[in-house]
Structures are given as structure tokens and as C-alpha cells.
């Protein structure tokens, strides 16, 4: 499996694989070497092109354009006939926030009002129009690098300029009242597993665990489950989480996760997602 050695979710998947097969191999893609002439993709003495299958848990510690290159390298194993769960080309469509957003909007999934621009002037106009907005990097997870601004702030122009310096293409999303929680809806091979809530424990504007939020169980209505199902369907992922929030104007989707919330499924729903994913993968590769 491909992941980050030592990280809980990576090791949980590796443990589940070892328990069922007696084989354990965690691949760190930062150590991978692609030889196009030889047709190999090696990490140490393991050629990924010779394996029966790969579980893709994490391609890099942080989302970045470099992570996209690692996914492109991983396609060599796909060309060689190795089954990858989720397929590298499918995950490619999720790493960039804008690519994910465009796919969701093309599928008529309700999302917050969003503007994309490289113009600081347009960004300032957008902020005034939204009243409050979250400026989001195109490559980030757990709200890292995001900037919350309110219209009329004295230093808004300076903050926008600083954000644009690090993010030339600015992704600006209207801030909505989430009432202190949002939801993670979990799917395995397109089938609904469970939903957990991320509940804020402080005055942070976001509910991520990284910012102090806590997991809690949540029982969604059937129509909410159907929204989550429609949101994840275009991406064809083995395991994923759909981020959903309930607003005064109805539910909206923020994004679909490239790798899914294993910790949220366990701590919020009591479900061992790693075991379920491994069972699914082993069933698929043994056919």
C-alpha cells in the first residue's frame, strides 16, 4: 500500500492487510524511482509494476503540484496492469480544489457561492459582495493556508495581496453559517457506510479536527445520503468522504476527499474502515 509510514491510517491499513495476507509493504512515493525505458516503478527493491494491487492511502504528506507528479508516476503501475484502489487518474481530479469544484458543479451539486480570479481588484469586489469570504489555496487539506476575511476590514487589501502572493489563482468562497458543525459522509466503492459530524469546540470559524473540532455520530436523512452519493459518483473512488454542511438554505457540499476519513469513520461512527477497504480490495484482486 502507498501511504505515509508511521501515520495512523496508513499503519491501520497495513495492519489489516498483514492480518489477512501475511504480507506488509508500505510504499513512500517520495522514494519511488520511475524508469520509463525499463518500464519500472521501484521503491527500494520493490517494483510496483509487479504487484497484484495497490491501496492508495496517501500520495504525499501535503497536497501540492508535486503530489500530482507522483500520481502521474503511479500511472506506470496502472499501465502494467496493477489494480490501484483508488485509481491514480481518478485521484488526480481531486487533488486540485478547482478541479474538484468544477466536477461537482458540472454534476449540479449545491455548493457555496465561489469566485476564481487572479485579480486583486475583483477579489476585493467579491469580498464586498459576499460580506465574508474564505480564501482557499488550490492545494491544501484540513483548512491549512485558508484565510477568512470580512468585508470592510481595514487590512483587507493587504491581506488579499499577501494571499495572492502565495496563491496567484485565488479561490474565494462565500462564508456560510455552519452552526458549529459539518458532516463527513463515508462511501466504499460508491456504497454508503456512515456519516460523522465534526463539531467545533472553540470559536474557530472552521470545524476541522486540525482546528480543535471533535467527531460525533450523525444520522442523516435519506435525501442527504442521496446528495452525498451523487457528489462522489463522478470520481469513481474506492473509499472517500463527502464534506457536507447544513445551512439555512439547504445542504451544500464543500468537497470530495481524495483519500477518505478513516479516523472519522472509526471515532465518529465506530466503523473499522481500514478492514472494510482491505476486504473489498482483496475480493477485487482475487477475481
- Cα separation, 63 vs 40, in Å, equals 25
Question: Smallest Cα–Cα separation from 282: which of 71, 29, 54, 56?
Answer: 54
- DSSP 8-state class, residue 287: -
Taken in order of first residue, the domains within the chain and their CATH numbers are 8-94 (no CATH), 114-174 (3.30.1490.20), 177-273 (3.30.470.20)
What CA–CA distance (Å, rounded) separates 93 from 107?
14
pLDDT, averaged per 10 consecutive residues of the chain (287 residues), comes to 94 96 94 96 96 94 87 95 95 92 97 98 97 94 88 94 96 88 95 92 53 82 98 97 93 94 93 97 93
Residue 208 pLDDT: 55
- For residue range 81-104, list pLDDT tens digits in order: 999 999 999 998 898 999 999 999
Q: Which residues fall within 8 angstroms of residue 27, CB to CB, at 6 or more apart? A: 1, 2, 3, 43, 46, 48, 54
Cβ pair 266, 272 in contact under 8 A: yes
pLDDT tens, 230-253? 999 999 999 999 999 999 889 999
pTM, two decimal places: 0.91
User: What pLDDT is attached to residue 151?
Assistant: 94
Amino acid at each position: 500500500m502507498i501511504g505515509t509510514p508511521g501515520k495512523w491510517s496508513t499503519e491501520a491499513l497495513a495492519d489489516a492487510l498483514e492480518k489477512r495476507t501475511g504480507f506488509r509493504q508500505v510504499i513512500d512515493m517520495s522514494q519511488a524511482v520511475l524508469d520509463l525505458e525499463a518500464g519500472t516503478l521501484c521503491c527500494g527493491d520493490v517494483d510496483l509494476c509487479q504487484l497484484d494491487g495497490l491501496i492508495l492511502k496517501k500520495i504525499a504528506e501535503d497536497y501540492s503540484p508535486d503530489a500530482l507528479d507522483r500520481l502521474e508516476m503511479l500511472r506506470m503501475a496502472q499501465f502494467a496492469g496493477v489494480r490501484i484502489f483508488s485509481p491514480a487518474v481518478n485521484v488526480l481530479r481531486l487533488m486540485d480544489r478547482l478541479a474538484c469544484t468544477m466536477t461537482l458543479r458540472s454534476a449540479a451539486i449545491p455548493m457555496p457561492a465561489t469566485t476564481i480570479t487572479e485579480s486583486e481588484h475583483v477579489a476585493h469586489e467579491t469580498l464586498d459582495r459576499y460580506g465574508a469570504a474564505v480564501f482557499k489555496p488550490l492545494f491544501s487539506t484540513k483548512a491549512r493556508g485558508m484565510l477568512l476575511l470580512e468585508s470592510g476590514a481595514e487590512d483587507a487589501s493587504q491581506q488579499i495581496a499577501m494571499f495572492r502572493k502565495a496563491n496567484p489563482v485565488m479561490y474565494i468562497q462565500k462564508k456560510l453559517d455552519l452552526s458549529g458543525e459539518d458532516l463527513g459522509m463515508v462511501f466504499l466503492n460508491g456504497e454508503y457506510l456512515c456519516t460523522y459530524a465534526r463539531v467545533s469546540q472553540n470559536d474557530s470559524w472552521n470545524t476541522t479536527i486540525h482546528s480543535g473540532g471533535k467527531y460525533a455520530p450523525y444520522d442523516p436523512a435519506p435525501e442527504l445520503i442521496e446528495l452525498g452519493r451523487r457528489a462522489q459518483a463522478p470520481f469513481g473512488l474506492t473509499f472517500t468522504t463527502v464534506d457536507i454542511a447544513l445551512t439555512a438554505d439547504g445542504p451544500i457540499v464543500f468537497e470530495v476527499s481524495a483519500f477518505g476519513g478513516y479516523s472519522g469513520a472509526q471515532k465518529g461512527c465506530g466503523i473499522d474502515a481500514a478492514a472494510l477497504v482491505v476486504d473489498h480490495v482483496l475480493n477485487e484482486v482475487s477475481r
